[in-house]
Structure 1
Amino acid sequence: MAVLVNGLQEARAIRLALASRGIKSVYLSDHDKVFSSPIAPQLAIWLRACAEPQANSRQAEAKLRAALATPVLGLSLEALDYLNQSELAWEARVEQFSDYHRLWQRQGVLPLVRRLMVDFDIAARLLGEFAEGERLLTDLLHLGEMLQHASQELDGEHALIRFLAEAIADPDSHGDSHKLRLESDADLVKVVTIHKSKGLEYPLVFLPFIANHRPVSDTDLPLRWHDGEGTLQISLNADEATLATADRERLGEDLRKLYVALTRARHATWLGLAPLKGSENSAIGHLMNGGKAIAPSVFTQTLGELVEGSGIELSPAPRPPRCASPLRRNNKRWATPARRCAPRGTVVDRQLLGAAYLGALSGAVTTPVPSPMPEPTTPRKPPPWKYWTNPTTTPLTPRRFTCTVSQEGQGPARFYTGY
């Protein structure tokens, strides 16, 4: 099953909604680079410490201490503090990294990475203590292999360290550095950008944000478009005619993306639609009503007329579970409830509305939510965290709040929210 999104912000909303319901997911995008992995900066710190462990300078000592303090190596605060008190313990660490330096010089960086993994039990720690440990472990081995290959064209350890630092600073400059896919990824819900999904196929496809679009504005300078002969034009002037021409080309690109999204499913596709302000300028809005706005009062009726006589089924978005949620309308702050009901989730406005839609559909395959625990007969001690408002010992009656908001000129849109 795949959820197709336009970018990282939408992917994050979907993954948070899925995680709140105990559903694991993996995000795949065009910018899914191994050099952007969280493990890459720590590897760079290790290599700097291994490059000159015995240099008699404060800078070399600082590099070694920084390496030993990285989370993946797993040294406790007590062990790090002991290095400040025991000269013998510190000298042992210096000698240990001197051995790593000699191994690097004799056999290369990949054997060094594997030696570090063995000596510090990195594999077990990543798999046992980190949420995405399997991914981090795969990235670490992948980085070691890539650095081993790059070292054949570079002169010395410091040149390789500079190469790694530049790759971390600009992952997109290395086009062949995509992350390796894990076999276990096949068991997860795939959150994929529409661009990345080109040429791929999935049994079920969800498009919760298919009506999202970003019109061209005068802040997008320089403006780019193609003339009638297909020649690229660039303008630094954002007059109305130029903006309209550039936005027309944006619409054409969105229509091509829509075609890609609608043709990825093998069995079924779900589209999330709502009467949002400005949605007539989106690709799906252009196809539904020729780029003309559809009044919210007749939105469902218009969709019904479009799908009549086809194999498309029209149904309202499933509602989120009813939960207790004390919402303060005046200052947009939240009160901590006396007790939480499961599952906990927040679904907001245009972007997170699709996440709620997908999460509710996926609820059919999740573990049923147990009934709330009965209220205690004696008052509870207030929890240690800080309340946004005065705490209450009165049991909260579960109920659903429906609000109307306006966000960044997008017009009124309903959202559901709750704990």
Structure 2
Amino acid sequence: MNQLIGSSAHPFGFDWIAGHPIKTSPENAHLSIRFPSNPEISGGLHLKLVPSDGTSNTTPLQECAREIRNLIDLQPTICLKPEHRKKGRPVSPSDVAVLLPSNKDVAALKRMLDKVGLPSMILGGASVFESDEASDWLTTMNGIHRSPSNRWIRGALCTRLFAFDATSLSELEEHPEKWDPVMARFEHARALWENGNLPEALSMLSLHFAWKQQLVRADQPERRLTNHLHLLDLILQYHENRHPTPDALIRWFDERMCDPDPRSDEEILKLEKQEDAITLLTMHKAKGLEFPVVFIPIQPAENNTRYKTKTPFIWHDAGGRRHVAIFNEDVTPEAQDAYARESISEKARTQYVSITRAKVLCRAYLNCNVKKLSALENWIQKLPADAEPSDADTRDLETRLRDGINQLEHTTQGAVRAIESWGQPSVRQTIMSFAADPAPGDTTPLLEPRDPPPIPHARSFRSFSGMLRGVERATDHDVMPPDDPSIQTQDAPTPAAPDADDLHSFDKGTAVGNLFHAILERADFSNPSQWLTLVSEHLETFGYDRSRWTATFVDLIRKVAGSGLGGLVPAGTLARKDPHSLFREHEFTFPLNFEPEAIREIGTLLEHIPADQSRENVPYHIPFTPATSPTGQSCMRGFIDLWFEHNQRIYLVDWKSNWLGARSEDYDAHSIQQAMNTHHYHLQYLVYICALNRLMRIVRPDYDYNNGFGGVAYVFLRGLDSRNPDASVYCTKPDESLVRACERWLSW
């Protein structure tokens, strides 16, 4: 270093800043490095020239990442004393530091090192909200909060927490028996979160989807696991201290990602195991630090903007007095020239500090394609730090630099030299077998898609649709794919006009049923001013044209609010209810121990369902016999769309988005009764009533079904008519004997 700056007049741009000789610290005086692949190479300043002919097809950062990988694989030995080389130790990642001009460069190199399987850590100046793991958490929280939207759930499954790739995700969606349990868990997590229990929601997903195991299998497991736990801690801390709604928490997290604060002790990246990590930092943060090996891939003055000064700026005159240029009239040629020289001087001092951070070896890259030279490139040519290219020297920059390096190599006895490569390792060595390379005996290529994680199986639980699986035509239209032919009525109705914007022409399928339910779950029937925003947000979430469909769904909420639920309650009852008195998406779980013989009694009673006077009594046949009834011990799990109390009676409501035809007339009593029979909704509401009875007997010991239960209403949403509040609704109150027979069948 003394030879490098000593041969240059004004190495720091000003004659009053001298380049004093450097003294090696006593503890570093005997350090050396030896390359087994090339014993002639020792430590010092190793320079690599990026050719000016355009033959290099890599950027300095890419080349730096490749060379660090190569250096570690070569396993050069750091020796405490030259005579004790056998007692040296191989260079490890923690011996290496990379100094870069900006935080942006640091982040870019971090991503490249991750790709080549090198553990690295950013020393200060980085927020955990700038990490890839923050994006994973934001996507996962949106997936939970916006469930059952398939689009958001798919996004969450593609994060590192769930580790699904396109192939495994496509396979999952093609098998409803696998997809349904996944969606159910997201909806369960959402319900927990909305009830204020975010920790339990995240714990449940983490357990079922093996988050920790997925992170350990990923690249850089310790770094990723550290970041995920750090972010989880910040999320739960904010949740506990502020008690925000899900929307508010997601908004706060998104704002932190948009405006991270690396100076915050809360946000600054926590360090994983430092003994195995390359240190990445900016040059300005390197003062006072030392590292055995230092890489400087980008020189600090290559993007010199000498004459592009912007106010305000500070400069000093020839006498050392300080001036501040604020207005345009302050920007004189003298001020511009002084400011430019001071900027060059600052970069030269930064260059000096960067090179002298290395104890044994400094690897610096010189770009021969730049117009403005760095201080290092000028020092090599024995020029002042602020020297401009001379017209008298006709040699190109690469030639001038090579000539200067050759002279330095001679005068420094090889301490400064141009080295293209240290050699190639004969056998690839691994740094962290559990992070970057396959485990011993594992022949699976690192970058090939991994097998999808195991899908949680729900065999210990039964939903109503799961109980009916395998029964002919038992699928609910609410959960039917859009192209399923069974959504068409037997008479093949005339399609609606393409420009019709009523619910008869709206899409069909699983996602559509989820949209209907999501809107009605969150609608405040007593507050019409809320409906427009609610509908607009949900249409956007589910990918529908808000300008076309908002008015249609606002009108749907209005019809529901004004409905009399088929005559069970006075018209407009829901609109007069406090939203807190409406229990929506009420989850229930109770143990089952099926008694197959009870099926016979249920079947007999259901065949004679008493219809009200306005409905045709279409016989219904239960899909089970004692021989085909579900058996064994398990749990029944489901969600009641809505139940509420009115005049000291309990009412149960289920929303149905079934498409029965393209005209309002297709939702008459006969068609609805057929839908109730075809999809076994009679059996479904009996299960729901049994669950509600069980709850009522717990919270109200004096509860009596005959006097305390008002009835059940199945509302077929597409056929609602504001002119007839009781239209498109099937309502009934099953006889107590039928309910008791169902309770015996479920045998809790």
The TM-score with structure 2 as length reference comes to: 0.36
CA apart distance, 1:145: 1.0
- List alignment gaps of at least 5 residues for structure 2: 1-95, 430-748
Report if aligned partners of 1:211, 1:284 keep a CA contact under 8 Å in 2: no
Counterpart for residue 124 of structure 1: 213
Counterpart for residue 342 of structure 2: 249
Counterpart for residue 282 of structure 1: 375
Distance 1:119 1:50 in 2: 14
Report if aligned partners of 2:138, 2:254 keep a CA contact under 8 Å in 1: yes
Counterpart for residue 250 of structure 2: 161
CA apart distance, 1:92: 2.7
Distance 2:271 2:190 in 1: 34
Counterpart for residue 98 of structure 2: 3
Range with bigger deviation, 148-157 or 163-172:
148-157
User: Percent same amino acid at aligned positions?
Assistant: 19
Distance 1:309 1:174 in 2: 45
Q: Pick from 266, 271, 279: which aligns with 1:181? A: 271
Report if aligned partners of 1:254, 1:282 keep a CA contact under 8 Å in 2: yes
Cα displacement string for residues 219-248 of structure 1 (whole angstroms, at most 9, x for unaligned residues): 664463334544543456887655433322
- Which amino acid in structure 2 is aligned with residue 164 of structure 1? F
Distance 1:212 1:366 in 2: 38
Counterpart for residue 131 of structure 2: 37
Cα displacement string for residues 102-122 of structure 1 (whole angstroms, at most 9, x for unaligned residues): 7x824x54x654443222112
Report if aligned partners of 1:280, 1:289 keep a CA contact under 8 Å in 2: no
State yes or no: 1:213 paired with 2:274.
no
CA apart distance, 1:307: 6.6
- Which amino acid in structure 1 is aligned with residue 375 of structure 2? S
State yes or no: 1:314 paired with 2:416.
yes
- Which amino acid in structure 2 is aligned with residue 3 of structure 1? V
Range with bigger deviation, 87-96 or 30-39:
87-96
Distance 1:8 1:211 in 2: 13
Report if aligned partners of 1:154, 1:160 keep a CA contact under 8 Å in 2: no
- CA gap of 1:68–1:82, structure 2 versus 1, over 3 A, is farther
Q: 5 Å matches for 1:220-369?
A: 221-222=310-311, 224-227=313-316, 228-230=320-322, 232-234=324-326, 243-273=336-366, 278-280=371-373, 282=375, 285=378, 288-290=382-384, 291-292=386-387, 293=389, 295=393, 296=397, 297-303=399-405, 310=412, 313-318=415-420, 360-361=421-422, 363=424, 367=428
Alignment root-mean-square deviation, CA:
4.2
Cα displacement string for residues 252-306 of structure 1 (whole angstroms, at most 9, x for unaligned residues): 3212322321232223334444666545453662684113347545544444555
Report if aligned partners of 2:299, 2:374 keep a CA contact under 8 Å in 1: no
Distance 1:82 1:51 in 2: 24
CA apart distance, 1:65: 5.5
Distance 1:99 1:239 in 2: 66
- CA gap of 1:65–1:74, structure 2 versus 1, over 3 A, is same
Distance 1:316 1:87 in 2: 59
Q: 5 Å matches for 1:77-92?
A: 77-82=170-175, 89=181, 92=184
- CA gap of 1:149–1:64, structure 2 versus 1, over 3 A, is same
- Which amino acid in structure 1 is aligned with residue 142 of structure 2? R
Counterpart for residue 400 of structure 1: none
Counterpart for residue 105 of structure 1: 196
Q: Per the alignment, in what secondary structure is the counterpart of residue 171 of structure 1?
A: coil
Report if aligned partners of 1:25, 1:191 keep a CA contact under 8 Å in 2: no
Counterpart for residue 24 of structure 1: 118
Report if aligned partners of 1:254, 1:283 keep a CA contact under 8 Å in 2: no
Counterpart for residue 20 of structure 2: none
Distance 2:110 2:370 in 1: 26
Counterpart for residue 144 of structure 1: 232
Distance 2:376 2:191 in 1: 60
Distance 2:112 2:300 in 1: 19
Cα displacement string for residues 309-359 of structure 1 (whole angstroms, at most 9, x for unaligned residues): 5576232222xxxxxxxxxxxxxxxxxxxxxxxxxxxxxxxxxxxxxxxxx
CA apart distance, 1:206: 2.8
- Which amino acid in structure 1 is aligned with residue 271 of structure 2? R
Distance 2:186 2:106 in 1: 44
Report if aligned partners of 2:300, 2:347 keep a CA contact under 8 Å in 1: no
Counterpart for residue 417 of structure 1: none
- CA gap of 1:18–1:145, structure 2 versus 1, over 3 A, is closer
CA apart distance, 1:173: 6.6
Cα displacement string for residues 54-108 of structure 1 (whole angstroms, at most 9, x for unaligned residues): xxxx8x676455434545324532323445x899647733553246427x824x5
- CA gap of 1:165–1:276, structure 2 versus 1, over 3 A, is closer
Counterpart for residue 161 of structure 2: 72
Report if aligned partners of 2:124, 2:281 keep a CA contact under 8 Å in 1: no
Report if aligned partners of 2:121, 2:277 keep a CA contact under 8 Å in 1: no
- CA gap of 1:154–1:222, structure 2 versus 1, over 3 A, is farther
Cα displacement string for residues 373-404 of structure 1 (whole angstroms, at most 9, x for unaligned residues): xxxxxxxxxxxxxxxxxxxxxxxxxxxxxxxx
Report if aligned partners of 1:211, 1:273 keep a CA contact under 8 Å in 2: no
Distance 1:366 1:191 in 2: 27
- Which amino acid in structure 1 is aligned with residue 234 of structure 2? M
Distance 2:285 2:237 in 1: 27
- Which amino acid in structure 2 is aligned with residue 47 of structure 1? M
Q: Per the alignment, in what secondary structure is the counterpart of residue 256 of structure 1?
A: helix
Counterpart for residue 289 of structure 2: 200
Distance 1:216 1:245 in 2: 13
Distance 2:370 2:159 in 1: 48
- CA gap of 1:201–1:87, structure 2 versus 1, over 3 A, is closer
Aligned residues: 315
Report if aligned partners of 1:216, 1:250 keep a CA contact under 8 Å in 2: no
Counterpart for residue 141 of structure 2: 47
Counterpart for residue 666 of structure 2: none
- Which amino acid in structure 1 is aligned with residue 126 of structure 2? D
Q: Per the alignment, in what secondary structure is the counterpart of residue 4 of structure 1?
A: strand
Report if aligned partners of 2:138, 2:253 keep a CA contact under 8 Å in 1: yes
More RCO (CA 8 Å, sep 6+): 1
Report if aligned partners of 1:221, 1:235 keep a CA contact under 8 Å in 2: no
- List alignment gaps of at least 5 residues for structure 1: 319-359, 369-419
Report if aligned partners of 2:290, 2:359 keep a CA contact under 8 Å in 1: yes
Q: Per the alignment, in what secondary structure is the counterpart of residue 289 of structure 2?
A: coil
CA apart distance, 1:164: 0.6
Q: Per the alignment, in what secondary structure is the counterpart of residue 422 of structure 2?
A: helix
Q: 5 Å matches for 1:51-62?
A: 51=145
Q: Pick from 260, 263, 266: which aligns with 1:171? A: 260
CA apart distance, 1:34: 1.0
